[in-house]
Structures are given as C-alpha cells and as structure tokens.
Copies of this chain bind each other. A is one copy, B any other.
Amino acid sequence: MVNQVQRVDGSWQTSRSDSSGASNSGESSKESSRCSTPLLDADRSDRLREKMRKRTESGDPWFSLEFFPPRTASGAVNLISRFDRMGSGGPLFIDITWHPAGDPGSNKETSSMMIASTAVNYCGLESVLHLTCSNQSQETITGYLTKAKQLGLKNIMALRGDPLGTDWEDEEEGFNYATDLVKHIRSEFDDYFDICVAGYPTGHPEAQSYAEDLQHLKEKVDAGADFIITQLFFRADTFLKFLRDCRAIGITVPILPGVFPIQGYQSLRQLVKLSKLEVPEEIMEVIEPIKDNDAAIRSYGIHQAVEMCRVLLDSGAVPGLHFYTLNREVATTEVLRQLGLWIEDPRRHLPWATSANPKRKVEDVRPIFWASRPKSYIYRTQDWDDFPNGRWGNSSSPAFGELNDYYLFYLKSKSSKDALLKMWGEELTSETSVFEVFTSYITAQVNRGGHKVMCLPWNDDALATETNLLKDELEKVNRRGVLTINSQPNINGKPSSDPIAGWGPAGGYVFQKAYLEFFTSSENVTALLKVLKKYEPRVNYHIVNVQGHNMTNAHDMQPNAVTWGIFPGREIVQPTVVDPVSFMYWKDEAFALWIEQWAKLYEDESPSRMIIKYIHDNYFLVNLVDNDFPLDSCLWQVLDDMFELLDAPPEVVGDGALAAVALGDGALAAVALGDGALAAVGLGDGALEPVGLGDGALEPVVGDGAPQPLSASQ
C-alpha cells in the first residue's frame, strides 16, 4: 500500500524529534501529553541544520549575526533591544561568543549563557552558543552543556578557545582541540545539539600548514559537526579557494563565510592583531589616508563588504553569510539592505513573537494582558512544564512566577530615571497630570515639558500600528481619566497577509474581538457597572482593584478567545485569550508597575509620589471584550454612556466638592471630583460587591426629585 498512514502510538509528535535524541533525559514522558497538532509550519524542520538545508535547496540565501556578551547590566538591556531590532531583519540565527574571563556559564545577566538564553527565550531568535574547551574539565563542559539544554539552547559552536582571544594556554590535561569537544558533545548529548565549528580560510595561525589545518577541520566535521563558520577574510577569492579545498578533501557540510564590515581604524587594527590576519594592501591603501575619519572608513567598510558578499553570492557556492557585528547595528544592517537580504517580513507566525525554546514550541495561546510586556510573561512562565496548545487551561499553567522573583531585565524600564521623569513629569500636581501623560503617549504629542512620551510602565515601546487605528478614541477617553494600557480593534476576517493585522500562513483569515484595558477611578467604575448592564451579554468585563476585589460577568474559569485565525488545511488557531485566572496574576503586576516604575521616581512623601500611590490604592483595573466581532466595536459607546451618566447632574457638584457615592452595603466612598482634590476613600471589604450584585447596589445616591438618568433601562 502506498502512503497508508502509519500509526505509531506515542511517536506522533515528529515535531519533537530534536529533543528525542537525549533519550536519557527523562523529559519525553511529559511531552506525550495531549497536544496533538503540529503548530503551523515551523515544527517539523525546526533544527538549524534542517533550516539551512531547506534554504540551500530552495536557493534562498540567509544571513546570521555574531554578538559578544556585554560587560554591564545596562549594556545587556541595550543588547537585548538590539536583538529585537536586528531580529526583525530575519537572520537565520545569531551566535553569542564565549568569554572565558567573564564567568560565561553563570546566571549573571552579562554571561554568555544568559545572553544566549535571553535571545532564544525572550527574543525568539535561533541562537548558537559558543563554547571553548581549553582549560576545562569534562565535568565542567558537561555542566555547561546540560545547562544550555535546560535553557532551551539547541546549537553549540565548539571551539578550542575564542578565535579572537589570546588568553588561553596549551594544556596537557582536558580538552586540547575543538575536535575533542565535538566528540564529547556527541558522546554525552547524542544528536541533541547542532554543532558548528570554525574554519580558517588562510589556515589557523598555529597550524603547521594550510593543508594540515584543512585536515583538522575535516576531523572536526567527521567527529560530528554540522556546519562551519569561517574566520573573517578580506577577499572573496580567499574564501572560495578555501571552500573548493574543503570540498576536495570530502568536507560536505555547509561552510559559511565570516564577513567583517570594517567599521573603524582602531577596531580593524585590534582585530587583525588578535587574529593574526593580514589586511590586503588594496584595503590598507584606501584606509590609511582616511584613518581619522570614522564616517569615511565605515562608509568604505560597507562598500567593501557589499562588493565582497556579491561575489560570494554570485559564485553560487555560498548559501548564506555570517556577520561579525561587533555588537553594532548600522554597518551590518546597511550591508544586508544593499544586498537585499534584510527583509523585514511583516508576516507573523502568530500575533506575538514565538519563543525559540523547544520547550515552548507547542505554546500557541497567551493571555492578552502581557501583550505589551511579553518578556515579563515569558519570565513568569519559564518554569512551566507544559504550554498551552490549542486551548488555554489549567494543566498548562501550574503557577505564575511570583512578582518578587522578577528578574531585573523584565520589570525595569529600558529608559533612565532622567528620561522617565521628563516623559512622565518632574512633578505631578493632580490626577489630571497623570491623565495628560497617558494622553501624550497615545497622541505621540509632546507633554507640558516639551518631551515626547515614548513609553509607559505597561508599554515598553511606542504604540503598536494596530493601536494607532484607535488613536482618536483612545485620546478622548484618556483625557477623562480612562487610562488605557492595552487595546485591540475588532477584525472580522482580514486576510492573513494583511500588513497590519495579518499573521499565520498564507491563504487564511484572521479575526479579533475588540478589547480595551484601562485603569480608572472607583467613581467611574460605579457608573460603568451601571452602564454595562445594558450591554449584556455582548460585553464581558473583569474589574479588579489592588486588593483583589473582583467584579465580572464572565464565567470564572472560562477564557475568552479574542484573536483567532482560520487557515487552509488547519485546525483553528486562537493565540490570544482573556483569561480570568491569569488576569489576577496580571493585576498584581499591573498595579505594582505604578509603584515600581512611576511612584519611586519621586521622593518619599512627595506630592507626586502620593498622587501615584493614591491611584495605585484606589483605581480599578478594567478589561472589556466586545464579543460581537462582526459589528463595529461598542466599547467606545460603553465609555460614552459612562461619561454621560457621570455628567448627569448629581446632588452636589462643584470644583473640589465631594460627591457621596453609595457602595454596596451602605459603605460610603468619598471620591474627588475636582482638579487636584484628593480625598480619603473608604473602601472597606465588601464595599464593592462581586458578581451577583443586586440591582441598585452601586447606584449613586440621589435625593428625591433629582434626575435618575438610567432608571428607564432597568
């Protein structure tokens, strides 16, 4: 029989083959739990060597980028931002060098291990971790490799020592050659890792001859290496000859040329010294005369690299290019743009960036709450054994990492305290000052101090293109103290190729329910709850304050899918949900950001800090979903109705006056109405009732004869 489907129980998930090699890992049993369907396209050819093979076969040249670990924590934060930016150009992989002097296998945020882990887990980049073996015991090396595997790293560049470094010495014991390391990896970890080794187009400086060095390279490949990246060189011919020589002695694996765009005179000199390379005369002749003109040298470097790369690619023998970036962005990006290899592909696999950690490969559902803070979500779920696949649920979310475990990177703002003060206000005078900060962020207009507000504690980056579609409505409500932190418009079946809303494979359709999440005062919430009764069951809401008082009209366990896609030949994909359980974890984080990122910018006891603290203590976090996705979103109408109710003349009104609002069982909350007036608010337990709220429990107290604007709708 031809192509009869074969069932091999338990071995269904061919997508997991990359971890099945390590059969002694004891992890495979976990992976046999229900999560049947391979996610979209990437799964089955997920190994780096497979990706290379496919790209080579289809004649689709790739590029890769090399980075080294930074020396400081703030350097690490910057490098991670650079990963995000350079990742958008579509590198096949990045690699992180191993700094033996920098405690490279530690948990420090600057270690090679942690930088590579961040690239894989938080930035979703296929990553290769360098590893040098000289001076190391087998136990130490095995420990590094075990840790790398646990962190989700899948590729190792096996080196004797840093090819750019000098501080290692020959050893009688332990590993002396990269070949030993390759053998060790294969012997201890079977086929789990893809292994890269270094090639030297002009021969290794220590080799007795070019020919002998080629033989060493062949030994490394024969020991199990999957591909080769070369040391840098300056002439295309140097590489092409090396490539021919490798093929001639039977090296058949991919060989990637290492490209070094010259970026400055000093860095070139230093590099050449370390690597014992000679810079060709024709290059020195250009550079020497302009050696004090950095811009001119960089410009030449780009030109020279582009020319050389064109020759390499035109040879038909080079499937991809590897770039030594020196952790810089401009030169490499420009070379890639000129070569037409820098492709900011607007197509997204899912609406959010997927992690490159194989453990998270099946993950295809996330709560919408962390949409603007994906790294914190990944951090808080890093210990999960099982990730949502298809549906969001309990077995996939055993517990969120505690807020106080937060790792520096994922809670702190990228911006300095000074920059934040300029954006969010050197001095706050009232809640309205805060409203203005939100409004400036939404409108991308400068604030009173003349500074653009580029981020908020809940939004690390400028507004998403999609959110821009809602700008006018968002501005209007933020001005009135509906402080939005997350939103999406409804979408009723746009093509998956749509440049703004699209994601997933070609030929599909994507959908969204309108979503809005904001902080707002308890007074607004009182009016909002009244208004929301008119929108049952169309609108689902969750409303919670920092103490966890929780009001909702949604099922208490049931997530609401707010983004989904329908694709040819697939099951439905529903990558974003509003989930009542995780909302309570998000609530802790969302409220904490008021204090951690904003209030603490100001002196203790200062009015500015008191204002933020007041909001933290008294505002509610609200999320709204309009379930009727084929119709125009009604969420703006909900807020309009809320404002209208608030604007209706209450019993007592006036600047700075207090309006008494009956909350629950007769508890009275005094809420400031006027500009700048801060009143004590008495919200005891039970003041705001959860679901099942009796009619009228949250109605404003109005005197006899006073207008009761909504009574007709009850």
Contact = CB atoms under 8 A, between A and B. Distances in A.
A3 B690 contact: yes
A601 to B, nearest CB: 29
Contacts of A688: 2
A137 interface: no
Contact of A569 (B37, B560, B567, B570): B560
Contacts of A7: 399, 581
Interface stretch (A144-152, A168-176, A384-392): A384-392
Contacts of A550: 1-5
Contacts of A516: none
A360 to B, nearest CB: 15
Contact of A1 (B386, B547, B567): B547
Contact of A571 (B394, B558, B581, B689): B558
A1 B548 contact: yes
Task: Give the secondary structure class of A's interface.
Answer: loop
Contact of A2 (B398, B549, B568): B549
Copies of this chain, tallied across the complex: 2
B547 A559 contact: no
B581 A572 contact: no
Contacts of A567: 627
Interface in A525-561: 537-538, 540, 547-552, 554-561
Nearest to A539: B568
A250 interface: no
Contact of A554 (B538, B569, B574): B569
Contacts of A37: 391-393, 557-559
Interface in A669-695: 685-686, 688-691
A506 B548 CA distance: 31
A9 B538 contact: no
Contacts of A492: 493
Interface in A614-632: 625, 627-630
A623 to B, nearest CB: 12
A395 B3 contact: no
Contact of A9 (B391, B394, B561): B394
A36 B394 CA distance: 6
A584 interface: yes
Contacts of A686: 2
A574 B571 contact: yes
A547 to B, nearest CB: 6
A104 interface: no
A577 interface: yes
A567 B567 CA distance: 19
A24 interface: no
A1 B34 CA distance: 35
A12 interface: yes
Nearest to A12: B394
11 contacts: A3-B551, A3-B556, A5-B580, A12-B394, A33-B34, A34-B34, A36-B391, A391-B571, A540-B568, A564-B566, A569-B625
Given A2-B689, A34-B35, A564-B572, 13 more contacts: A2-B549, A2-B688, A12-B393, A13-B394, A37-B392, A38-B555, A492-B493, A506-B537, A509-B629, A540-B569, A558-B571, A559-B571, A566-B629
